[in-house]
A and B are shown apart, each in its own frame.
Chain A
Amino acid sequence: MKYKIQVVKKAEVSLSKNLLLSLLAIVSALLAGGIFILAIGHNPLNIYGSIVQGAWRSPIAIKGTIKIAIPLLIASLGITPAFQMKFWNIGAEGQIIMGGIFATYFALFFDHLPHGLLLLLMFIAGMLGGGLWGLIPAYFKTKFGTNETLFTLMLNYIALYLIKYFTEGPWRDPASSGFPKIASFAKNARLDQVLGLHAGWVIGLLLVVLVFIYLNFTKRGYEIKVVGESTNTARYAGMNVKKIVMRTMFLSGAICGIAGMTQVSGAAFTLGEGVAGGVGFTAIIVAWLAKLNPVIILIVTVLFSMLEKGCSVMQSSFGLSTAVSSILQGIILFFILAFDFFTRYRFVLRKSTN
């Protein structure tokens, strides 16, 4: 008689159990990280203390944490509609970049326009850039059935090298006497500040509300969920699945494009190869851990940003290698994702029939 292990999706887990598991995940993650910290000869409590303190210790630190959170929040929200449709958009990174590139075009060549109009143009351009970059894989998926995971992934690299092209080619700063960089934006092309921080945070919070409403209280949001559950059901119900897929991916990309626009105009004031800096990938983890719920995305984003910002401070205050903070972040993430898996699935041992 043979046995085999199967992975089975759990039925809905109750909220209290969910919270308990999440808490357990964080505790185990901290314990495992603590063993690592002990192994390199430091006190885990001191290290964790400096991470939390490093993220919130002063107005500059808080602003720094929020600055990390803004693109992560917006990109996570951007991924959410696509993922609810079970369209695995791994291309947020590229969509952020394209949003940044499109917005930069107006920042560089139309900075004589009135400030409000210019920023509006940059905002629309950013959405368009990200949206079109999201539309391409959607088109090929619906037309030829291409694999969207690989397609969106590959487009990231094309976008990244487009920045390189613009930096070294047509958009090279004329004042840099030949060195490859794009000029810093004129003051006129920079995003305004609200409460001492660029307005990206306001946009991000607005998007939390808008995406929440769109997904839960509109016909289109409902269509996305139906297509996600079963394209056949959607078709049977008379929905135009191709149209829904393309529309949703445009939206997904467009929101990511906003993240790119706020990055170039609010935080970096220029376009460089690091404009997305891995945010598009971290956003997938954030959206997934938050179970694609915009409100929880906001919470998870804040925690992630705190971890990243705090680790950066911890690294320099303890004179540790940056590899240490990467390993620590990796350990913590690993445990949280593993627990997430076990809240969704369980293993069962079944007798093999033959």
Chain B
Amino acid sequence: MFKKLSSLALVAVMVLSLAACGTTDKGNATTTSGTKATDTPAPTQAAAEEASTGDSEATSGLFAPIAKEDIKVGVIHIGDPADGAGYTFAHDQGIIAMQQALSLSDDQIIRKNNVNDADAVAIRTAIEECIEEGSNIIFGTSWGYMDTMEELASEYPDIIFSHCSGYKSNGSNFNNYFGRIYQARYLSGIAAGLKTQSDKIGYVAAMGSDNSEVTGGINAFAMGVESVNPDAKVYVKVTNTWFDPTLEQQAAEALLDAGCDVIAQHADTTAPQLAAEKRGVWGIGYNSDMTKDAPKAHITAPVWNWGAYYTSAVKSVIDGSWDGSNYFGGMAEGLVELSPLSENAAEGTAEAIEAAKQKILDGFKVFEGNIVDNAGNQINQDGAFLSDADITGKMNWYYRNVVAE
């Protein structure tokens, strides 16, 4: 009797606890996974669209205009905006910015949170719920939503599906959006290069050199460092995961042990910044402004301002000018930027960054001119520059001042 009961109790307890974790397990989701933008990530005329405000019935659009009161926007998040920092938070801030810019009411935004991007059925269910509630345009923020969105786009040709960071699109109701975060990375490198005393800068990287998105970010950062401090080296430590606070902290600590006094990151959490703060040194965050998390260490962070895209996309649906093209924005469009410098920044940082920013806005492409990798290979010649497709899809080398194990 007792044995029977105890085994039952065991089963019940296990089942309950596991049922609970089972559903929330997000796996090793590619929250900030990269883009392979070979499918013509043509920089759209977002800026131009932004400029041509007004109620002009754009004739170039693929869909009829929709009255502002009738528009509904669906958003599929991999995390929960309530996280308060990081990837999903940054996207949701963009949605809120769009809502305010276009003065939409709360019930015109339908959010599906914590949608596991490795569960095609959950993705489909979430998107279909947005469709049911009348969404005209649905944003999917995680890389893993791509294939399901592609399928649904062909099943629902009148609804617009917009997918972040992927490489698929159909030219009409399914596009992708991403941007030149490397521009902001370059600027953050300037802040790091001016701050370091030991001339050793650490970089916690989610993925190794086979991942173009991460590697491109490291290289742009390293070029920014070099532009103000040619003696400094960037030491890279790879965690091989998009999201793991423990591994990110350990990687940061290993870099700190090696003498680095500024820790930059391509990682989802604030762990590297906290590790730097604990040692009394400095850090460069990512995704959202992390000064509030590590006030004594954090200098600045390259951040996404997704509102720039969300606003222009929803606006184009309202005025009927949606043309189905992909969006690949940068600093000029306001999609990427640097979070405000904290008081931890070295003297002269603001001026140096402002000058470089102006250079970028004037057409400096970061990856242009003479580029040599850390194995001594000539990557690019004077007078030439790397295309965005090469930067986001084919960058598998490290810049000459990068040291990777």
Contact = CB atoms under 8 A, between A and B. Distances in A.
A285 B19 contact: yes
Contacts of B129: 54, 61, 64, 312-313, 316
A24 to B, nearest CB: 20
A181 B147 contact: yes
A294 to B, nearest CB: 19
A263 B18 contact: no
Interface string A265-286: 0011110111101101110110
A149 B11 contact: yes
A322 B80 contact: yes
Contacts of A149: 7, 10-11, 14
Nearest to B11: A88
Contact of B393 (A153, A177, A322): A177
Interface stretch (B112-120, B228-236, B295-303): B112-120
A322 B110 CA distance: 13
B23 A277 contact: yes
A269 B80 contact: no
Contacts of B110: 316-317
B22 A93 contact: yes
A316 B119 contact: no
Contacts of B23: 277-278, 282, 326
The SS class assigned to the B binding surface is helix
A164 interface: yes
B223 to A, nearest CB: 24
B18 to A, nearest CB: 5
B51 interface: no
Interface string A309-343: 10011011101011100100010010001000000
B125 A181 contact: no
Interface stretch (B32-40, B280-288, B314-322): B32-40
Interface string B3-20: 001010011101110111
A322 B131 contact: no
A291 interface: no
B143 interface: yes
A179 B34 contact: yes
A319 B19 contact: no
A64 B96 CA distance: 29
A179 B143 CA distance: 10
Contacts of B63: none
A247 interface: no
Interface of A: 7, 9, 54, 57-58, 60-61, 64, 67-68, 88, 90, 93, 149, 153, 164, 176-181, 184, 263, 267-270, 272-275, 277-278, 280-282, 284-285, 288, 309, 312-313, 315-317, 319, 321-323, 326, 330, 333, 337
Closest 6 CB pairs of A and B: A274-B119, A278-B22, A268-B120, A273-B118, A273-B27, A281-B19
6 contacts: A180-B30, A274-B121, A278-B22, A284-B11, A285-B19, A288-B15
Given A179-B33, A277-B122, 11 more contacts: A60-B131, A177-B36, A177-B167, A181-B144, A269-B147, A278-B18, A312-B125, A313-B129, A316-B110, A316-B130, A323-B80
